Structure 1
Amino acid sequence: KNVFDTLVGTILDIEGKTKDTIKARLDLERMGIRRGLWMNRDSDKARRDLAFFSLKPNDKKEFLKFVSSVKFPDGYASNIARCLRHDIVQVLCKFEMIFPPTFFTSMMHVMVHLPQEALLAGPVNYRWMYPIERLLGELKKSVRNRAKPEGSIIEAWVQYESLTFCGMYLKDVETAFNRPQRNNDGGMRKEKLSVFAQSARPFGDPGRGESFSTNDMEVAHWFVLNNCDEIMAYLDEHEEMMKREHPSHLVAQKQRELFPQWFLESVNKLKSSNSPTYSDELYNLAFGPIRAELFSGCYINGVKFLGAARDDKLCMQNSGVHVPGGGESTNIDFY
């Protein structure tokens, strides 16, 4: 963050953030180096002209427009240190040829050492002093009797440990031990059919259902039926019927066209005969898709997805589904 603030503040010439100040220009002039960055003196006045590495107003707009359009997936942070640490020495050397010496604060040179230090010693959060400082701050807040601060801290700590211990056994109360994850999808549902047992939890104000064409509804219905493991016996039975009634090259096409109606009739027969294999879920599956409520997003498998209309207003990208597709000779990814 500090390096980013210094770099962006300098190239955008932000007052209070830039390292290309009047004092920096006077230092260059006093040292007799970087003549192109000296103060421009006109009679008895001196002014600081825009440096060659600073962006002009139009360039600033284009730069900020690009930065505002950058989006990363929710929960993802781009770790540029993996690539940067290999070239950081060369990058700093090139920076020294462009920016004034005041640009190179202690944080700039720390970038050379931090990646290697992290590789050798592990994550810094296990080694720095901030957790201890935060703990001491919390202990100081628990002091009620300033004449005996140690006793107040001990009493508060005993209460904290007691509540923490009891929290491990409170199943119906949300504690630090049973708190749901950030993108809680509600877990797997207990329906008998796998197509109805998906772990998904919609959110947002429900609106009117989306209208699809008849062809799209038929395609979606066939996709669900063809991927439901519990009705594979019905699919196999209907396929055998199609093989007896139609040529081999038309079997797949005829099954796709005729199976949904045949399956619905078969389920209705099971319902009328009170068959033990009949269930409401089986009937709902055979009945086909109906108009459903439209939500702005949903949680599924621990991931949050948003609609494109809502996603356009955020700085994170949470919309879009990627499906790897396989063919006979090529693999095509679908979005």
Structure 2
Amino acid sequence: MAHAHKAALWVLTTVAVLAFAASAMAASPPGGTAAPAGAQAGGSEFGVPPRPLEVTRPVVGQLVVPRTAPAGRPPRVSLRIDEAGVGTVAAVVTVTDLVTRTRVLVVSLGWVRTGRTTVVKWPRGAVLKAGSYRVSLNAHDHRSGTLLRRAHASGLANLTVLAPVALPPKPILPPAPTPTATEEGVPSPAQTAASGAVFPVAGPHSYGGPESRFGAPRSGHVHQGQDILTAEGTPIVAPMAGTILSTSYQAGGAGYYAVEHTATFDFMFAHCQAGSLAVATGQSVSAGQLLCHAGQTGDATTPHLHFEMWVGGWHASAASHPIDPLPYLEAWDHPGG
């Protein structure tokens, strides 16, 4: 009886297993088992392309080039290159003539730090002639990634080099006559001193050597005044009451200057310090009034006042002429002496 019971139990178990297997086979798609829907660790899902790695490239953070520069030594050019996660990049600056399309300067900066401003060191003796140029920046990183040029930071800049401005030649004047103080209608030094004339340099001074005198030879003309050497910034004052005829600037000659008209003479005060002119054309001035400060503007190598005295007006007519100011200056320098 027990044997029959065990046999029946075995049959039931076998039937159940076969029924489960048949059910599983019916639920499976033909040809095999289904691939897992989710991505598996250690690989990518079949049919989905791998995501590309992000590649960085150097970019122009800054390129500073002046629009214009004088001919000669190349101007100051500075730059900055940026690249995330990269410490240094190799940089080259090239200057190309836009007319001939030739490279006139190529400067290798070597490996420069990213994120920092670098100033281009031009080769010794490098010069740029007048013309139009293109300044270009190139760079690459350690992975050979080249410079990425963007619309707002292309690494390209135009430079116009200007020819030097030539100063006009000094006018060649005929030798000035040297009339004496006894000329009719011209007061003597003593008379002007007695009338209250003031020495034009209000500070320590000297009259220099022979080259400072009236009539001393110059290139193409003679000296038409007396140079009074003094310190930069010393006040220059009007010797007599009068009216300012002119205030102007002559780059290759008088520098900043003023001209005063009085009842007897016209005075010219040259080489004033830049920005120191204290009077304007048409202004009335009194004796001793500040006109400017002594300087060395124009054709001058040391601070001094170039002082001229004119009879008949300053370049007013063919009869106008300068006279030697030294006797008058000495009389005003030591009144009553």
Q: TM-score, normalised on structure 2?
A: 0.20
The structure that is helix-richer by fraction is 1
Q: TM-score, normalised on structure 1?
A: 0.20
The structure that is strand-richer by fraction is 2
Name which one, 1 or 2, has greater alpha-carbon Rg.
Answer: 2
